[in-house]
Chain A
Amino acid sequence: MLSRNFTDSLIEKLIFACGFAAIILVSLIFFFLLREGLGFFAQYNIKEFISGHFWYPTSKPAGFGILPLIMGSLFVTLGAAVIAVPVGVMAAFYISEVAPVAVRDILKSGIELLAAIPSVVIGFIGMVTLVPLVRVIFDIPTGLSAFSGALMLAFMAMPTIVSISEDAIRSVPGTYKEGALALGATKWQTMYRIILPAAAPGILAAVMLGIGRVIGETMAVMMITGNAAAIPDTIFDPVRTMTATIAAEMGETVKGSMHYKGLFAIGLVLFVITFIINFIADSFLNRVKK
């Protein structure tokens, strides 16, 4: 039987090894993206990439302008945020401050249920129910549009926004509330005058994390936003997001070709954007913890 010290240090070495392996693996993705993405920029002007109006990757000569794709992602994300933020924050307030305890548990379970629904299922339902409805209600040429995407994606962002806002609201010190109520304010006045400003950093973090989730969404947008790689005029136009472009064109590229590297360049852009959003959200959350 090996001495206890020996097995202890053996296991600790294993832990160190796994710890490092895990960290290396996750940084590998960044380096891989960087390698292929930078390889692309070596051969294609980065300014033309970001601001070019035409994404024609298989034509000769190929066009790799991702401005329409960026605008597509932007329209869908902002549309989703405009819907999800007010609804989510208000729901968070309702659940944490107003709802009776029994109702609160039901509502929280309902929202966690929403978080569990896979994006392909939401895309499928959106495709068969929402898209035809949107076309008829708004009298637009086709329901496959940024608007339909924004609506379904708002749903997908909701659980994140609601639960993190709810955490922020609950972490506002009880003394703030009690002080206000003691001074004769109604619960509602306390909520919007005292709690909301105090919870603001946490709520902002929730919003950013929700937005980060929406930007990265792939399947649902592929099925309901129409995939037209043109800069949209209105939110009712069909759009193509960066994520859908990668998913749709991933399979057809020959390894090492410009198209292949171009998709990695888009992946790099997505990576940087979501990383920054998460970073900012994190710093807000850390402020709350303090």
Chain B
Amino acid sequence: MNPKTAQKIAFSLLFIVTLLIIVPVLLIVFIIVKEGASAISWEFLFTAPKDGMRAGGIFPAIVGTLSIVLCAIAVTLPMGVMAAIYLNEYAKDNLLTRIIKLSIVNLAGVPSVVYGLFGLAVFVMFLKMGVSIIAGALTLSIMELPVIITTSRNALNSVPQSFREASLSLGVSKWQTIRHVVLPNALPGIMTGAILSIARISGETAPILFTAAAFYVPHLPRSVFDQVMALPYHLYIISTQIPNMPANITYGTALVLLVLVLAMSLAAISMRIYFRKKKKW
């Protein structure tokens, strides 16, 4: 067979295979939008569920998810960034540091349900926080810490060493260099990582299953020690547990969750593209 023909066939095959991935994704989004759009209304987004979740809205679940996620990122972002700064800029390159760096990268791959188990044992039971926003938020923050540390480290690493050297050679102290030269340049990467983390933990169910989520709470949370409803858990419950559930409410909930997560991911990706264009090196 002529190599050129072989190439044409091969490339067509590759194209079809790639479509095999893209088409189902679009299909999933299309189905959710088509079936769920009819449920979306002001009432749906801003009122509580009625009639055993079969009517009304999902407002408590939206609020619950937002509160857990915001608490989680408030804890993990500062800690993670500072840990990344320590590991990249201050720690000496010895065996201990290499082990630590390796462990953190690998911890990012541990299943979320294992973190849920840990959160249950430590925050809910041992520290007696009970099933609450704070227990769920702390569980999620520990889960995301390795990821935030890793993405922050990558962002810090991408700042050219020459920047640091130039600053230090001008007599600027180490911390001032980090604060005024390295961090501002690494900030876009760090922020992108943070927003992607927010998107990811908004959709997580397993870690909040027994640390924060409730089947039904009749009102909005009044303190961080309250149980809350959460969007992903709510979707799981209404799709597997409620009899005679109107299909469009279930799809509508999936739609709200999807839009929330996709909007955040899109924001992060656009940020990344924008800052890549603005890069000074």
Mark the stretch among B44-52, B86-94, B221-229 that contacts chain A: B86-94
- B146 CB–A CB distance under 8 Å: yes
Q: B260 to chain A: closest CB distance in Å? A: 9
Contact with B111, one of A23, A122, A215 (Cβ below 8 angstroms): A215
- Whether A246 and B14, one on each chain, are in contact in the complex, defined by CB atoms closer than 8 angstroms, is no
With A29-B142, A87-B21 known as contacts, the answer to whether A125 contacts B28 (CB < 8 A) is yes
**The residue from B4, B109, B149 contacting A216, defined by CB atoms under 8 A apart:** B109
Contact of B262 among A113, A128, A219, A263 (CB under 8 A): A113
Q: Determine whether B120 belongs to the interface, using a CB cutoff of 8 Å to chain A.
A: yes
Task: Output the residue of B103, B200, B206, B232 with the most chain A CB within 10 A.
Answer: B206
Closest to A111 in B: B21
Q: Is there contact, CB below 8 Å, between A120 and B236?
A: yes
A114 touches B25 (CB 8 A): yes
Residue interface bits A91-132, CB-to-B below 8 A is 1, else 0: 101110011000000010111111111111111110111000
List CB contacts (< 8 Å) of A188-229 with chain B.
188-189, 192, 209, 212-213, 215-219, 223
Indicate whether A277 sits within 8 Å of B117 (C-beta atoms), given known contacts A15-B85, A22-B83, A121-B235.
no
The verdict on A124 contacting B235 (CB below 8 Å), with A29-B142, A223-B240 known, is yes
Is A118 touching B109 in the complex (CB atoms < 8 A)?
no
Task: Report A272 CB to chain B, min CB distance, Å.
Answer: 10
Pick from A107, A185, A216: contact of B110, CB below 8 A.
A216
- Tell me if A125 and B31 are in contact (CB < 8 A): yes
B121 within 8 A of A: yes
State in angstroms the CA–CA spacing of A99 and B21 once bound together: 15
Q: Is A32 an interface residue (CB 8 A)?
A: yes
Counting contact residues on chain A (CB < 8 A from B), the size range is 35 or more
Which A-chain residue is minimally distant from B111 (CB atoms)?
A216
CB of A267 within 8 A of CB of B117, answer yes
Pick out which of these stretches binds chain B: A5-13, A58-66, A232-240.
A5-13
Contact B104 A121 (CB under 8 A): no
Which segment, of A46-54, A170-178, A247-255, faces chain B?
A247-255
Known contacts being A127-B239, A186-B7, is A274 close to B18, with CB within 8 Å? no
Q: Contact at A32–B146, with CB atoms within 8 Å?
A: no
CB of B208 to closest CB in A, whole Å: 11
Bound-state Cα–Cα, A25 to B123, Å: 12
Contacts of B17 in A (CB 8 A): 86-87, 90-91, 94
Q: Could you list 23 A-B pairs, sorted by A, with CB under 8 Å?
A: A18-B83, A19-B85, A19-B87, A20-B86, A25-B145, A26-B142, A32-B121, A94-B15, A98-B15, A99-B15, A107-B22, A115-B265, A116-B262, A120-B232, A125-B32, A129-B31, A155-B21, A213-B109, A219-B206, A243-B111, A264-B121, A275-B107, A275-B109
| Interface of B toward A, CB cutoff 8 Å | 3-4, 6-7, 10-11, 13-15, 17-18, 20-22, 24-26, 28-29, 31-32, 78-80, 82-83, 85-87, 90-91, 100, 102-118, 120-122, 125, 142, 145-146, 149, 173-176, 199-200, 202-206, 209-210, 232-233, 235-236, 239-240, 250, 254, 257-258, 261-262, 265, 269
Given contacts A127-B240, A247-B116, 11 further A-B contacts (CB under 8 A): A8-B174, A19-B87, A22-B80, A22-B82, A26-B142, A87-B20, A113-B262, A119-B205, A124-B235, A188-B11, A278-B109
